[in-house]
Amino acid sequence: MRINVLTIFPDYLEGPLGLSIPGRAREAGLVDYRLIDVRAYATDRHRTTDDEPFGGGGGMVMKPEPFDAALTALDRPGRVISLSPRGRPFDHETAVRFALEPDLTLLCGRYKGIDERVVDAWVDEEVSIGDYVLSGGEPAALVVIDAVVRLLPGALGDHDSASSDSFYEGRLSAPSYTRPAEHGGRPAPDVLRSGDHPRIERWRAARAEAATRHRRPDLLDLDAAD
């Protein structure tokens, strides 16, 4: 898989993408990250990538020409995604869908966003990681990349690790415990140390259901709507 990221701060992403699962996936040849500095496609001597909005108002807008030139130069843009607070909420189902794409391009806006003409001409989908405003799309791009890359076959080494994550089956995950068997006067549940795997699975399913009902009942509402 190739993931292109268009940004004016490529250094913001380079470090995190070399660590943990995203970094190991790259080393294993499962994913190739291309960090494209949009400033390199600005044509004036100051490498300007933003300007005042037509119609007035506060803030700046990212200019269309550098983004258009950077996207045109890509040999494999694939599905083009704009990270935007007005986008559709990014969730596990979206991550699964993106993980099936051979090529993905993420656009990181700043300020008031990217000129709408770029969105109209290039963007297949806008996604948001939450109902809040960030300084730019770079943190959102890292969230999307991490969620997508860990779903690639071989990225985790243990497929069961991904399949037991929260949201994998529309539920939160069950509580997890490890050694020691007792800590701070609180023991780990006996069932998890019993070796009775069918019983363990039933316990986990019940606890996942209870956690979802208590903390994210909206997920159960979605099931009912289906």
Q: What is the token pair recorded at 13? A: 């992403």
Q: Tell me how many domains the chain contains.
A: 2
Check residue 128 and give its pLDDT.
Answer: 98
**Structural domain includes residue 179:** yes
One domain for residues 8 and 104:
yes
> What is the domain-level CATH number for residue 21?
3.40.1280.10
Q: What is the mean pLDDT of the chain?
A: 94
The number of C-alpha atoms within 13 Å of 123 and in the hemisphere containing its C-beta is: 22
Collapsing DSSP to helix, strand or coil, 58 comes out as coil
**Residues comprising the chain, all counted:** 226
Express each pLDDT in 97-138 by its tens digit. Answer: 999 999 999 999 999 999 999 999 999 999 999 999 999 999
Is residue 80 located within the same domain as residue 120?
A: yes
Pairwise pLDDT comparison (57 vs 170), residue with the higher score:
57
Residues 215 and 114 both lie in one domain: no
Question: What's the pTM?
Answer: 0.89
Q: Which two tokens stand for residue 54?
A: 């037509």
Query: According to the model, what pLDDT value does residue 224 have?
Result: 63
- Does residue 204 share a domain with residue 93? no
Q: Is pLDDT above 60 for 215?
A: yes
Residue at 154 is within a domain = no
The owner of tokens 């990014």 is 90
Residue 111 included in any domain: yes
Domain check: are 196 and 118 in the same one? no
The CA-based dihedral angle spanning residues 82, 85, 86, 89, taken in that order and rounded to the nearest 10 degrees: 80
> Distance between CA 203 and CA 183 in Å, rounded?
21
Q: How far apart are CA 220 and CA 209, in angstroms?
A: 9
Which pair of tokens denotes residue 121? 């001409």
CB proximity list for 220: less than 8 A, separation 6 or greater: 212, 213
For 193, the domain range is 169-225
Answer whether residue 165 shows pLDDT above 70: no
Confidence check: pLDDT of 161 > 80: no
Q: Same domain, yes or no, for 135 and 180?
A: no
**Section 136-151 average pLDDT:** 98
Q: What is the mean pLDDT of residues 45-74?
A: 97
Residue 4 clears pLDDT 90, i.e. is over it = yes
Domain of 201, CATH number, reads 1.10.1270.20
Residues 102 and 47 in one domain: yes
131 with 214, same domain: the answer is no
Q: Which three-class secondary structure string do you get for 67-107?
A: HHHHHHHCCCCCEEEEEEEEEEECCHHHHHHHHCCCEEEEE
Q: For residue 157, what pLDDT is reported?
A: 78
Are residues 173 and 144 part of one domain? Answer: no
Among 107, 155, 138, which Cα is nearest to 16's? 138
Report if residue 84 sits inside a domain: yes
DSSP code at position 211: H
Mean pLDDT of 12-25: 98
Q: Are residues 189 and 104 in the same domain?
A: no
Do 83 and 127 lie in one domain? The reply is yes
Give the percent of the chain with pLDDT over 90.
89
Model confidence pLDDT, tens digit, residues 71-91 = 999 999 999 999 999 999 999
Is 20's pLDDT higher than 80? yes
